[in-house]
Structure 1
């Protein structure tokens, strides 16, 4: 009888464990296939990203959009943008407004003034654009705090 109870308990635990729903919201392992940065640069120019963004080494066109917004991309940053953050910034720019910008400047009727490219850009294009953007960020050297009286 004891063996039967143990067997039933083991089967029940195994069955309940196997029925648990998959975890949601864990994007730590979210990645897309490797991209082509050169093609991403072509897309950056094709989609006229420089009409609202600036990037070191790239000249902005004479005619800019009417918003007058200028969001800097790339360059030295204290914290590298995560891959997921760059993807979300392109596919859902209203998700998070860049630090230092008044939402009233970059959001109209609850939506970002950045046009949606979701219906015109392929997944391959998105991957290539993100690969290009990632390559333009560089981590600033960490500045150590000097404390008096402490020597290492």
Structure 2
């Protein structure tokens, strides 16, 4: 069963790399079921994601032990659109890119970028879809801001 889930997650991540937005935007005809935002919020708490992550409006449950070494912000305003595929990949392969807070030394010494536990053998596909659907709602794309230049004395 674990092998089947891991194979499915690998297939999903490979197919979604080119997706623009949402589970239904795959150019190859592959799509995931529609996720449930409230169920995704429950998944966030079930796996105690708030021990290392901060999401505006979310408060960790009393039994969550906070990581004091670093905190990773999820959501907020961003200059680059966070796609469904970006968020999915971040959950199933948290070391796929450098995360703010991890230095070059950490990456070289440990051979990885993230200390995030791999949930691929614990989280169901439905939980993954719901979690990513929930996370999507916490990002806001910032509009381009023009640089204001001085008159240069003309």
TM-score by length of 1: 0.69
The alpha-carbon deviation at position 107 of structure 1 amounts to 8.4
Assess if the C-alpha contact under 8 Å between 1:69 and 1:105 holds in 2.
Answer: no
The residue number in structure 1 matching 2:17 is 27
Does residue 65 (structure 1) correspond to residue 67 (structure 2)? The answer is yes
Moved over 6 A (4+): none
State the aligned residue count. Answer: 125
User: 1:91, 1:40 → 2: CA distance?
Assistant: 15
- 1-side partners of 2:126 and 2:54: how far apart? 24
C-alpha displacement at 1:34, in angstroms?
1.4
Computing the radius of gyration from Cα coordinates, the structure with the larger value is 1
Could you say if the C-alpha distance between residues 73 and 113 of structure 1 is closer, same or farther in structure 2, counting changes exceeding 3 Å? same
Unaligned runs of 5+ in 1: 1-23
Task: Show the counterpart of 2:140.
Answer: 138
Shift of 1:104: 4.5
- The 1-side partners of 2:16 and 2:41 are apart by 30
Cα distance in 2 for residues equivalent to 1:143 and 1:65: 35
Shift of 1:58: 1.7
- The 3 A distance-change label for structure 1 pair 108 and 86 is farther
> Aligned Cα RMSD in Å?
2.8
- Displacement after TM superposition at 1:63 (Å): 2.8
- The DSSP-based 3-state class of the residue aligned with 1:138 is strand
Cα 1:25–1:130 change in 2 (3 A) is closer
What CA distance in whole angstroms lies between the structure 1 residues aligned with 2:72 and 2:116? Answer: 11
Which residue does the alignment assign to 1:80? 81
What is the CA distance between 1:47 and its match in structure 2? 0.7
TM-score, normalised with respect to structure 2 = 0.68
